[in-house]
Structure 1
């Protein structure tokens, strides 16, 4: 393990960046770093985070060369990996993604329904731009993308940059698997071997075993049927909105009690209940701006002011260690088994071969090798076909500047009741996103 790697974090001003840095530092024995860069197009926001992270790096790993920049050539030259978690439009636009649909009694959420489509239309250009910078300045690098909405972003990269060295991954299943492992009495999610299929934020676990081959599904299913994914353990304490989400799983779990569902299916299978209980004036975006965003930036400013990261309020984001697992798999050809968003190409035998599906893959130096899933049941297949069509139409709308295709995409979403309502939402979203979306005709 002599080689040390150069990494750029795209989205250097993100509230998640300090936790990512702490996680990378905690894993230097597994993934040694020689150079770490931040890249963001918002210099002021990034500077706040970078000043604090620079102090943390100076005190904990002074050998790592560090810089923060808004210049693409500086950022993307001499790098091995891009770790991308960008949010085009930041939380102010997320707030509109959530509140505009709610005006029409439609689900308001950042990755699902019209809000997810809106966010996707903003994200596509940003991700494509980063890919192009990578290919221009460091053509041998890999981009590890965990920017949302991952489903639309993955479809866009498949269609618009099919040869790009990009891997799309999501932490949502990982967070749920940590809870499953605790329910099963295991120390780590890595003590489990899972089978899973679906689309991003839209999938099901079909098998969970330990390394000795013992079936863990009966015990986990029994628990989920009673309590959802909520746990009494303080380690898994969730804020109120997430606690409701974990609890709601027990309702739609019964639709196929042989599997275990992703929490985000609540937005498609319980959308009326979600809308009924939504606070239309204070959505999740408001919670994040008043909570994590305020806390992170306050702590960054404090560290910069005192000039030391001792007694730092940032903790290692163990939840994000999957990013190191993915980078290691590529760097060391470790054949790590991971859930990735990849082109189907027959892995799900009775599903669109061009769909970007989330399934287990073996990851090595040449990228992912998807594992065969086989045929899936009609219920899941029907839901997935509807949702993947939404994603494809949204990407086509962006690429073609097509108002009609975006109207079709929103109309087709299971969260939207009619074409008329879809058009009303679309027209409001166009006005809100005029600085971010391509012109639609």
Structure 2
């Protein structure tokens, strides 16, 4: 197998070291000759990169490694760009969450006004990454993990229609791993799933084992009692906001008993309950700043201080496995079935052709082929149409610099109760995002 060159864009991310570890564990299946990191925050990236350099030297010293803030150096001679940008970092995520909460509306990273604000920050930098890739490594693939994936996917569909970009999300993968564990399967890869929806807005319609046996009844029985919460080592030591979302699977099953729902539907279908129970002064952004972010950077500093990654707590995760599996499928034509965000084009028969949907696809060296879903029920179709309309209006607003379109986008979000509340939130978001958004008029 030909060895590949990988660029991690967003090198200062708390997920970067886990992706590096995952690639080193996968070298027999996905051989790598070079790993690069790129970020516009030199200081933050350096903290992660120096630790990754030690890990690579100890485990695979033959791999070339470098980190840089220079686009030409970063994007030259790469086969895959793994993008995981967080524009504005966690400080702006905190604003995305707390500003809507101030107005009695769900404050969440990718859902509702917070997700729209994040989308407005993310579109430009993702398009810029694609431009760099096409200039310096035109044969490469951009595998985009950056949130909010639905808005970013709509923007890349519209603004870079001929680019080699695949938009992905690990949330369904995470939930499938939970499902596998609660029914005593070793991995989600022991299951065949059928799924449809939008990013952070979807449903499993079928889950079977490799012999074709139906696993849905057993999984539903667990969800009916516990949601997606689990009594396993992997299910412990999570932030309370995460556990609350997992437990909400129980109520989501009551709302839609035929399918299994993605937990993010909690924010849309249980918005009042979410707001009522939220700690508006200490949101999930604060939990991550005080938890995962601090832990990752402390561990990186420990590795650098010791000059060794022996006994490191940095490990691969679902996040890392999914993006490496995707790169491997593209590189070596594995024809793996994966959930991707793709233009519908009739895969869901009774849904907009140009909507960016999340559905199973077969991935090989020439890209991916969406699998047919057929027709979807009225309840899901109606919810998805409203959400897609909101996402398209966000991209309209970014392209046109339109205050009106962004006001309409926030008004269209199911979590927002009225146009006036949408306007009040928008005006506050504009002040908070002056450094990042285009000027709106």
Q: Residue 423 of structure 2 aligns to a residue in which SS?
A: helix
1:291-440 alignment runs, 5 A limit: 291-440=291-440
Deviation at 1:213, TM superposition (A): 0.6
Q: Residue 248 of structure 2 aligns to a residue in which SS?
A: helix
Stretches of structure 2 that go unaligned for 5 or more consecutive residues are none
1:32 corresponding residue in structure 2: 31
1:144 corresponding residue in structure 2: 143
TM normalised by structure 2 equals: 0.99
Deviation at 1:252, TM superposition (A): 1.9
How many residues are treated as equivalent by the alignment? Answer: 440
2:267 corresponding residue in structure 1: 267
1:251 corresponding residue in structure 2: 251
1:165 corresponding residue in structure 2: 164
Q: Distance in 2 between matches of 1:314 and 1:332?
A: 28
Deviation at 1:319, TM superposition (A): 4.5
Deviation at 1:318, TM superposition (A): 4.7
Deviation at 1:220, TM superposition (A): 1.0
Q: Residue 302 of structure 2 aligns to a residue in which SS?
A: helix
Do the aligned partners of 2:121 and 2:437 also contact (CA within 8 Å) in 1? yes
**CA distances 1:217-270 after superposition (whole Å, capped 9, x unpaired):** 111112211111111112222332211111111112112211000000000000
1:86 corresponding residue in structure 2: 85
1:101-120 alignment runs, 5 A limit: 101-120=100-119
Q: Residue 321 of structure 1 aligns to a residue in which SS?
A: helix
2:199 corresponding residue in structure 1: 200
**CA distances 1:58-104 after superposition (whole Å, capped 9, x unpaired):** 11111010000000000000000001101000000000000000110
1:221 corresponding residue in structure 2: 220
1:14 corresponding residue in structure 2: 13
1:97 corresponding residue in structure 2: 96
**CA distances 1:93-146 after superposition (whole Å, capped 9, x unpaired):** 000000000110000001000000000000001100000000000000001111
TM normalised by structure 1 equals: 0.99
2:288 corresponding residue in structure 1: 288
Q: Distance in 2 between matches of 1:320 and 1:54?
A: 18
Q: Distance in 1 between matches of 2:71 and 2:341?
A: 26
**CA distances 1:345-369 after superposition (whole Å, capped 9, x unpaired):** 0000000000000000001111110
**CA distances 1:135-186 after superposition (whole Å, capped 9, x unpaired):** 0000000011111100000000001000110111100000100111123332
Q: Cα RMSD between the aligned structures?
A: 0.9
Q: Distance in 1 between matches of 2:284 and 2:125?
A: 23
2:240 corresponding residue in structure 1: 240
Q: Distance in 1 between matches of 2:324 and 2:316?
A: 13
1:56 corresponding residue in structure 2: 55
Do the aligned partners of 2:239 and 2:287 also contact (CA within 8 Å) in 1? no
Stretches of structure 1 that go unaligned for 5 or more consecutive residues are none
| Deviation >6 Å, runs of 4+ | none
1:172-183 alignment runs, 5 A limit: 172-183=171-182
Do the aligned partners of 1:23 and 1:318 also contact (CA within 8 Å) in 2? no
Deviation at 1:418, TM superposition (A): 0.5
Q: Distance in 2 between matches of 1:419 and 1:267?
A: 19
